[in-house]
Structure 1
Amino acid sequence: MRPALPRTAVLCATVLLPALALAHGEAGDHAHAGFTAGFAHPFTGIDHLAAMLAVGLWSALHTPRPWLAPLTFVGLLLAGALLAAAGAVAELGATVEPMIAASLLVFGLLLAARLSLSAGLGAALVGGFALFHGLAHGSELAGAAAWSGMVLATALLHATGLWIGLALRQMRLESERGAAAVRMSVQAPQLAGAALATLGAAMLAGGWLA
């Protein structure tokens, strides 16, 4: 059964995915509490949002178990938030933003190169970066309710990426839809990945020059 998602919307969302990261949410000066604050948080840091969508998209297109990398990301995101609450940011703070930028670069390259990894290796790679995303979120959120909202929002973003990826994969299988549609289903994630990798590289360069 093919996903009930309009193909135009799928392709547009995929191509525009990295463009969302051109705007960056402002970090708060203090930790925010409450489920609503936690749920909103991944959407206000657009680099986080783009990374989470990219993980779902890449997992759907290029891993044998698409659910594993997103699930690992969610688990280690929460672990990173708990480490931040325990004071880990004081020791690792200087590495958090560079690692988030590096995650955009790596996730973008994975999409652009259409690189397939084993389920375990893909989950390990994604999970390592997720820890730093969690440290960033955890330094700005406080309490179980906020962390629960953060986890739910992250899972929904991964699910959205997976949904788009599965729809694109289905388009490739439907050869009767025509060669142009098949080409677009291949090229759109590559274009999105290239743009995301470029953004990650620019963020890294900006951090080094600052």
Structure 2
Amino acid sequence: MRFLSVFTATLLIATAAEAHTGGGAASGLSHGFFHPLGGLDHILAMAGVGLLGFVIGGRALWLVPVSFVAMMAVGGIVGVAGVGLPFVEAGIALSVVVIGAALAFGGSVPLALAMALAGGFAVFHGHAHGTEMPLAASGLTYGLGFMAATALLHGLGIGAGFALNAVAGAASRRAARVGGALLSLSGLALLTGVL
């Protein structure tokens, strides 16, 4: 968590120092970083992935988020290349529903399935980021920006898991299940246009 905090602060400081340029690397990095943070659907899914990794435990703590980030990069490349992907917004909303449901069921998802779900849905998130890249932005720095923001959101989900564990102790798994159910309901609200 300390590395993630320092990394994020460094990105923000570098972006602010070069923000006056209006284009190039600084613009790509900041646009990429703030894109996932600008959508409730992205925030819920990405924090949910971190929490799911925590609840499953063991190697899932890092493998589930890494699967998401890696496949999101693939989706971003596809989006930047202009290759169409059907049902992107529905896929993003559905990711919130499914990740929430996995949490609601106590994270009793096998690691390989959790990685496949996270990675599969990440393609939709990445595609949305890639297709919305500003024309003047560098694809590389824009991609690094949205990957850093995603890692930060995963870290927040993992941190929420540790906080729940510290505060609620034995009841933390039940609290995570309730949180997952609420997350899934939020995804349904996104899917139907209520949110």
Partner of 1:106: 98
Partner of 2:155: 159
Partner of 2:56: 62
**CA distance in structure 1 between the aligned counterparts of 2:43 and 2:51, rounded to whole angstroms:** 12
| TM-score with structure 2 setting the length | 0.77
- Note the alpha carbon deviations across 1:77-128, whole angstroms, 9 max, x for none: 1110000111123xx2x41011111101101111112132222221111100
- Note the alpha carbon deviations across 1:132-170, whole angstroms, 9 max, x for none: 010111111152111111111111111121122134345
1:115 aligns with 2:107: yes
1:82 aligns with 2:74: no
Percentage of pairs with the same residue: 43
The number of residues matched between the two structures is 165
Shift of the 64–183 alpha-carbon distance from structure 1 to 2, 3 Å rule, reads closer
| Contact preservation (8 Å) 1:63, 1:119 | no
After TM superposition, which residue ranges in structure 1, 4 or more long, deviate above 2 angstroms? Answer: 166-171, 181-184, 202-207
| TM-score with structure 1 setting the length | 0.71
| Contact preservation (8 Å) 2:100, 2:183 | yes
**CA distance in structure 2 between the aligned counterparts of 1:200 and 1:79, rounded to whole angstroms:** 23
Partner of 1:204: 191
Pairing partner for 1:126 from 118, 132, 156: 118
**CA distance in structure 1 between the aligned counterparts of 2:175 and 2:31, rounded to whole angstroms:** 33
Give the aligned residue type for 2:176.
P
Give the aligned residue type for 1:202.
A
**CA distance in structure 1 between the aligned counterparts of 2:192 and 2:37, rounded to whole angstroms:** 24
Pairing partner for 2:174 from 187, 190, 198: 187
Pairing partner for 1:45 from 39, 42, 66: 39
| Contact preservation (8 Å) 2:33, 2:149 | yes
**CA distance in structure 1 between the aligned counterparts of 2:103 and 2:170, rounded to whole angstroms:** 15
Structure 1: give runs of 5+ residues left out of the alignment.
4-32, 172-180
Q: 1:67 is paired with a residue of what secondary structure? A: helix
RMSD: 2.2
